[in-house]
Chains A and B, each alone.
Chain A
Amino acid sequence: MRDGTVRGIGLALAVGYATFIAWLYVQQPQSAAEVTGGFSASVGSYRIDPQAFDDGVQFFGRDQFAAARTAFERADPARQDARTQFYIAYSYYRQGWGRFYQDDELFARGLEAVNRAMARAPGGRIRVDDPGLQMRSGEELKAELEAGLRRDPSDFNPARILSRRK
């Protein structure tokens, strides 16, 4: 093979590989499915599994949150779909909500998921028009999760036992 051809191929390979590495460091994928899904999403060809998503929504409506998350993870294995991630965050919120205290671990995971949902949504704006939800935007859900994780004097307000899960 000619010298110039080798150099040209090498340059293209190196630039492509470096771009791939930079993309990995920015995206921080957690699995091979996230890597392939992320690539598909970047070229606009990523699709969730609609059947698994519908199953997840049904489980969610029946307060079976762990089952709902399993279905949502199956629907969106690459964690690239904003709406599915929003539902996952919401499931953590509802499961972690308590009249006397909030489960910090579940709320923290919910916050991670809603941040992911907002990062994937166009312009960072996510809105889910589901009549079963009291909070339909990413901002509302995020604020509620952050409030649940915050320690302040309002935590000792006895009137909080009258608050309702959203």
Chain B
Amino acid sequence: MTATREAIALPLVFLTVALFGGLRITEGVALLPPPLFALVLAVLLLGLLVRCGALAPERLVHTSRSMLANLNGLVVMLAAFLASAQAFNVATPESGAPRVLFNLVFLILLANTIAASSDRVRVLRSLLVIFGSAFIVKFIVLSALSHPAEGVVTRALQVLFEGVTLGSITQDVFHPATGYIAFGTLTLYLFGLVLLPAADTGRLRPAATYTTMLDPTRDAKKLEG
């Protein structure tokens, strides 16, 4: 990993995610710090990234590196932690039953992925699906259910829906810009995860090693040789 990527690109990417992850635009602008549960999920996520080899802490902080390089590495890890917490913050609904449900699902998905001992690529794909699905549900589905309806029939159905769910599903309505910013923030976060220094291939999980063993192109080259 180059010094530019470690010292400039990664901190700026993750700090930008930390900044915009809490941005909510309604009538005014609010910057929401991550809730406590998002911090817990961020710790789990970093643990998962280390376990699958997507993040190699020893390539960021190590006794063989200079003090300045170690400081850069520490900044990257702290920024990645804050960005992870804010990524969960932006992907989680703001209130009611959906908020509780999302937090529970995030916890179960992360625990399951850790237990499955997946490799780097699979974990990154899994995170793309997790955050992508959460974004769609929060900013498209729940937003549509919460947005004030225009027609009389639609409004009546919406009132009925609110009554049936005791108002626990509908959310605060945000300015449309919030959704676009959230999309950009989550994309930037996933891009940042791809840029993180990965562990050596030798450290990868058995599943990856098995895949490597069955690599047909390598076998074909061997045969040719």
Interface residue ranges, A against B (CB under 8 Å)? 3-4, 6-11, 13-15, 17-18, 21, 24-25, 28-31
Contact = CB atoms under 8 A, between A and B. Distances in A.
Contacts of B30: 28
A117 to B, nearest CB: 18
Nearest to A3: B3
Contact of B11 (A13, A24, A30): A13
A151 B7 CA distance: 56
B130 interface: no
Nearest to B14: A14
Contacts of B22: 25
Interface in B32-49: 33
A10 B29 contact: no
Contact of A29 (B8, B19, B29, B69): B29
Nearest to B16: A17
B220 interface: no
- 3 closest residue pairs by CB, A with B: A10-B7, A14-B11, A10-B8
Given A3-B3, A21-B18, A24-B19, A10 B31 contact: no
Interface of B: 3-4, 6-8, 11-12, 15, 18-19, 22, 28-31, 33, 66, 68-69, 71-72, 75, 79
Contacts of B29: 28-31
A4 B12 contact: no
A7 B72 contact: yes
A24 B7 CA distance: 23
Nearest to A29: B29
Contacts of B4: 6, 10
A11 B72 CA distance: 6
A21 B8 CA distance: 16
Contacts of A21: 15, 18-19
Contact of A28 (B18, B31, B68): B31
